[in-house]
Structure 1
């Protein structure tokens, strides 16, 4: 799993939209979608329900999001300590 892919997933969840997340992250929407698909393939689980206009987390997606928040805080802590 790459941190970049996790960040893409976290961004989509936080902004509630692939389009908004892509704009805020300064990446293309297809690139963002590929990152999330790569993360899903790595974890062998679907993280987002894409059948609605809004982004909805699956049960697994909710768990990954919560763990992702912990990972991002740890990464920030490392930057502070170094």
Structure 2
């Protein structure tokens, strides 16, 4: 009898966890945080260039004088 009560209790808790009630933790609003290195590149009148190298994505900042610098390297030069 105790085993059946325990199974019923666990089942009930699982069902309650699948509730459709949208509580205070549910939000339809999304915020995004800009990449500071990308933002800095744009502020320096550069533009972004993202390429695939060695099976990974790498972003570069193309500066107004046509210098091509890895995005985070450019950011860390002055910050």
TM-score scaled by structure 2? 0.27
Pick the structure with more strand per residue. Answer: 2
TM-score scaled by structure 1? 0.26
Q: Which structure has the greater CA radius of gyration?
A: 2
Pick the structure with more helix per residue. Answer: 1
